[in-house]
C-alpha cells in the first residue's frame, strides 16, 4: 500500500526579473536590468516615447547628463539615439555596477558612469556644458527645486531639461527655464523646460 503524499510546502515567491527596454535608436529592444531598490522607478516606455517624439529621434552630437541615473533608461535611450556624450550620475554602488555592466554589454563608448551625488556634482560642474539634462530624482526625497537650481546653469542656451515628478513643480524664476512641453501618465507628471538666453 502506497504512503499518502505529503503536501508540498510552497517555497518563497520567485521575483520576476525586472527590466526596461530601450525603445529607439541603435540599441532598440535591448534590455536594461532594474534593481529592486526603494524609490527606483524607471521612466515608463510610453513616457520615453513621448519625450523623444518631442525632442526628435536623432540626438546626433548632443551632450547629455542623466543626473539621477537609476536604471539608466533615459541616458541609454539618448546614447542609442546618437548623443555624442552621455554622463550618468548615480551614488548607489550596486546601481553603478549594473550601469557599467550594461554599458560594457552594449559597447556604449560614448556613455560614462560616475559614482557621485548628483547635487554635489552639478554644483561644481562647468556652466553651459549640456544640450540636455534629465532630472528624475526619487519622488520622496524633496530634491526637485535644488536639482533644478543646480542643473539650470549646466545647459547651453536653448538647451532642454527633462523633469519627472508626482505633480507639476513650480520652477524658480531665477533658473532661466521656461516650460516647453508637459504631460501626465498615471502618477507621473513630466515636462521639458528650455533655457532662455
Q: Print the domain residue range for 92.
A: 19-195
pLDDT tens per residue across span 96-150? 999 999 999 999 999 999 999 999 999 999 988 999 999 999 887 889 999 999 9
Residue 189: strand pairing partners? 165, 184
List phi, psi (to 5°) of 147.
Answer: -70, -40
For the chain, how many structural domains are there in total?
1
Higher pLDDT: 196 or 177? It is 177
Q: Is residue 48 part of a domain?
A: yes
Separation between Cα atoms, residue 19 and residue 34, nearest integer Å: 5
Given this model, what pLDDT does residue 8 score? 44
Q: Is residue 12 part of a domain?
A: no
Residue 11 in domain = no
pLDDT tens profile 8-52: 444 433 333 488 999 999 999 999 988 877 767 788 888 999 999
Contact present, 62 and 55 (Cβ < 8 Å) = no
**pLDDT given at position 79:** 97
Average pLDDT over residues 155-161: 97
In this prediction, residue 34 carries a pLDDT of: 87
Q: Which pLDDT belongs to residue 14?
A: 34
**80 domain-assigned:** yes
1, part of any domain? no
Phi-psi group of 160: left, alpha or beta (phi > 0 → left; psi -120 to 50 → alpha; rest → beta): beta
**Is the distance from CB of 79 to CB of 107 less than 8 angstroms?**
no
- Residue 121 lies inside a defined structural domain of this protein: yes
Mean pLDDT for 61-87 is 96
The three-state secondary structure class of 96 is helix
- In 48-129, the DSSP E strands lie at 63-66, 85-90, 111-115
CATH number of the domain to which 130 belongs:
3.40.50.150
73 in a structural domain: yes
Question: Has residue 5 got a pLDDT over 70?
Answer: no
Q: What is the dihedral of CA 94, 96, 102, 105, to 10 degrees?
A: -100
Query: 4-8, 69-73, 137-141: lowest mean pLDDT where?
Result: 4-8
Per-residue pLDDT at 190 exceeds 70: yes
What is the signed CA dihedral for 125, 76, 35, 116, rounded to 10 degrees?
-10
Answer whether residue 3 is part of any domain: no
Amino acid at each position: 500500500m502506497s504512503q499518502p503524499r505529503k503536501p508540498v510546502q510552497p517555497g518563497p515567491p520567485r521575483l520576476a526579473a525586472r527590466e526596461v527596454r530601450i525603445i529607439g535608436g541603435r540599441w532598440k529592444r535591448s534590455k536594461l536590468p532594474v534593481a529592486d531598490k526603494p524609490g527606483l522607478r524607471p521612466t515608463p516606455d510610453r513616457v520615453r516615447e513621448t519625450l523623444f517624439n518631442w525632442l526628435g529621434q536623432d540626438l546626433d552630437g548632443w551632450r547629455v547628463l542623466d543626473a539621477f541615473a537609476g536604471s539608466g533608461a533615459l541616458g541609454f535611450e539618448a546614447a542609442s539615439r546618437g548623443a555624442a556624450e552621455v554622463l550618468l550620475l548615480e551614488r548607489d554602488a550596486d546601481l553603478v555596477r549594473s550601469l557599467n555592466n550594461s554599458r560594457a554589454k552594449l559597447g556604449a563608448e560614448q556613455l560614462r558612469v560616475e559614482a557621485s551625488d548628483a547635487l554635489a556634482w552639478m554644483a561644481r560642474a562647468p556652466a553651459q556644458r549640456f544640450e540636455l539634462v534629465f532630472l528624475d530624482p526619487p519622488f520622496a526625497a524633496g530634491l526637485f527645486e535644488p536639482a533644478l537650481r543646480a542643473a539650470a546653469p549646466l545647459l547651453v542656451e536653448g538647451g532642454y531639461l527633462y523633469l519627472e515628478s508626482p505633480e507639476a513643480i513650480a520652477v524658480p524664476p531665477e533658473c532661466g527655464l521656461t516650460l516647453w512641453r508637459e504631460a501626465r501618465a498615471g502618477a507621473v507628471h513630466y515636462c521639458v523646460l528650455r533655457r532662455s538666453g
